[in-house]
Structure 1
Amino acid sequence: MEQLDVSASVLSKHVTVLMDAGYIEQRKAVRDTRQRVWLKLTREGHEACRTHLDALRAIVGSWRDE
């Protein structure tokens, strides 16, 4: 939440969408009386991220060539 500067509810909604798409896995545990959540990209998530970054690089590359 802090790194993204979003509220817990906004982050939760995005995490749910990414989990439903199969892009991330979530693990929860209680530590020091506080709930902790760990997120991990799945293989499909890594591939989707790589594909998205490649598309962005292509857009930026074509823009620089103009």
Structure 2
Amino acid sequence: MLKTKIAVFVSGGGTNFEALINAQENGKIPHGEIVLMVSSSKTAYALKRAENHGIKSVVCSKKELGSQESFEEE
């Protein structure tokens, strides 16, 4: 069975992200797989959580990109 790829968006510590990871690891998300975590902050602890579980992560900060258009393009 092909699983739906899931991206999770976070802005801080990632406690909800960790709960989703735990649910996935415990088989409670049988038809989906978390494959990406997107953070709006390069200092978010959620980035470490993603690293600890082998989940790809990226940072996309509207403030650093300067405009809504640049943010959406990124």
TM range (shorter): under 0.3
TM-score by length of 1: 0.27
Higher helix share: 1
